Amino acid sequence: MSVKYMILGCLLDAPAHGYEIRQRFKRFYNQAHGLNEGQLYTTLRKLEEEGLVTKELMHQEKSPPRKILRPTEKGRREFYDWVRSGEDPDRVLFDFFHAFSFLQKCNYFMHISPEDALALIDSQMERESKKAGELKRARDDMISRNVNWHRVRIIEFGISFQETKIKWLAGLAGEIRARS
């Protein structure tokens, strides 16, 4: 997903200033989702130049004014066109390699001992289980805060993905044990 559309979507949820956008990304994605300050402010400037957002100064008593960004009608149309397009410009044939980078190591397990491979798999299973637990806690928190059900379903996809990885790792470990 393009950062441009992530930001427009964030602003459709509610107008915000740059720092608040980063905070929303951190809360929702549990990280800034690869969005560093330079990229954020460069993208915001481009969105404004393209007429997709407007900037409004919000005066504060003891601080400099904040620049609150809102999507324009043109920005809304472009965002909705993107959502409806069904396009996936970042699509890669073997995108699961990127989504589960541990597979890159697995690709070379024939060069290490079965014991070393099993130790790596066990360690990875622990990490994946921890991620699944974190996602489940995030989902429960979202439900308790009445977050839109579409977003809860996205987190549930993440939980399912984690569980699939754990199941696959367990199967791989079993196969390594059976073959050694």
Q: Are residue 10 and residue 42 in the same domain, yes or no?
A: yes
**In a domain? residue 67:** yes
Check pLDDT > 60 for residue 159: yes
pLDDT of the residue at 46: 95
Q: Are residue 68 and residue 8 in the same domain, yes or no?
A: yes
pLDDT of the residue at 93: 58
Question: Using CA atoms, how far apart are residues 9 and 159, in angstroms rounded to an integer?
Answer: 23
- Residue 9's CATH number: 1.10.10.10
**In a domain? residue 115:** yes
Q: Are residue 75 and residue 13 in the same domain, yes or no?
A: yes
Q: Are residue 36 and residue 75 in the same domain, yes or no?
A: yes
Q: Is-contact 17 66, C-beta < 8 A?
A: yes
The total of structural domains in the chain comes to 2
Number of residues that this document lists for the chain: 180
Question: Using CA atoms, how far apart are residues 45 and 162, in angstroms rounded to an integer?
Answer: 37
pLDDT of the residue at 150: 92
Q: Are residue 101 and residue 77 in the same domain, yes or no?
A: no
Question: Using CA atoms, how far apart are residues 13 and 79, in angstroms rounded to an integer?
Answer: 12
Residue-wise pLDDT tens digits, 13-47: 899 998 899 888 877 765 545 567 788 889 999 99
Q: Tell me what the mean pLDDT of segment 53-61 comes to.
A: 89
Q: Which helix (H) or strand (E) holds 15?
A: none
Provide the whole-model pTM. 0.69
pLDDT of the residue at 100: 79
Predicted confidence band of residue 164 (pLDDT cuts 50, 70, 90): very high
Q: Are residue 75 and residue 141 in the same domain, yes or no?
A: no
Check pLDDT > 50 for residue 171: yes
Q: Tell me what the mean pLDDT of segment 139-150 comes to.
A: 94
Q: Are residue 175 and residue 122 in the same domain, yes or no?
A: yes
Question: Using CA atoms, how far apart are residues 150 and 128, in angstroms rounded to an integer?
Answer: 23
Mean pLDDT score of the chain, rounded to an integer? Answer: 87
Residues in CB range of 57: below 8 A, 6 or more apart: 65, 66, 67, 68
Q: Are residue 112 and residue 60 in the same domain, yes or no?
A: no
Q: Are residue 75 and residue 101 in the same domain, yes or no?
A: no
**In a domain? residue 90:** no
Q: Are residue 158 and residue 131 in the same domain, yes or no?
A: yes
Residue 66: which of 23, 18, 24, 13 has the closest Cα? 18
Residue ranges making up the domain that contains 166: 95-179
pLDDT of the residue at 32: 47
